[in-house]
Amino acid sequence: MNSNGVVEWAVVESDIGSLLLAATDAGLVSVVFHARPEVREKAVGQLRSRLGAEPVENPGSARLAEPIRQLAAYFAGSLREFSLDLDWSLTSGFNRQVLRELAAGVPYGAVVGYGDLAERVGQPTAAQAVGAAMGSNPLPVVVACHRVVESDGGLGGFGGGLETKRKLLALEGVLPQPLF
């Protein structure tokens, strides 16, 4: 149960389509890809049930102003590191540990293998669990799960779809920009 009371959300456009951003008093709590109406409805329902508060749509929200500004700067190529307050209440245990390590230890323009990340949190055999943690990441882009790839060079999975993952890695200079 979240004691932060209000959850405010808004949908913003980006280079990878519309994103739903949600924040509590503690900070940015959720980033949702492909925020079409049916995706929005599902996301808002999940926020309601998991945070125990009624999410309020508020594009002018003071809480969302900085996440919106930093995401725009990131997509414009002028921001390489997010400095946002994050509310980690939608993740816990191993998943939270892995996501925090990713946020702290894998900078812009770098990638890490699922197994390497598992090793960094002291669970060298947990590569698949790391994959699951990435899949359940409530803060994609900001907590850059797109930087986690397969050790053989494969892109691995991605909640936002592989095309989105490819675009984010190209933005960061890890992959060449697509020709068309």
First to last CA, the chain: 46
Residue of 82, 74, 70, 84 lying closest to 28 (CA atoms): 84
Query: Choosing from 19, 71, 103, 145, which is the catalytic residue?
Result: 145
Is 72 a catalytic site residue?
no
Residue of 57, 14, 7 lying closest to 160 (CA atoms): 14
Distance CA 100, CA 91 (A): 10
Amino acid at 56: V
Distance CA 81, CA 93 (A): 25
Question: Phi and psi for 172 in degrees, rounded to 5?
Answer: -85, 0
Catalytic residues: 145
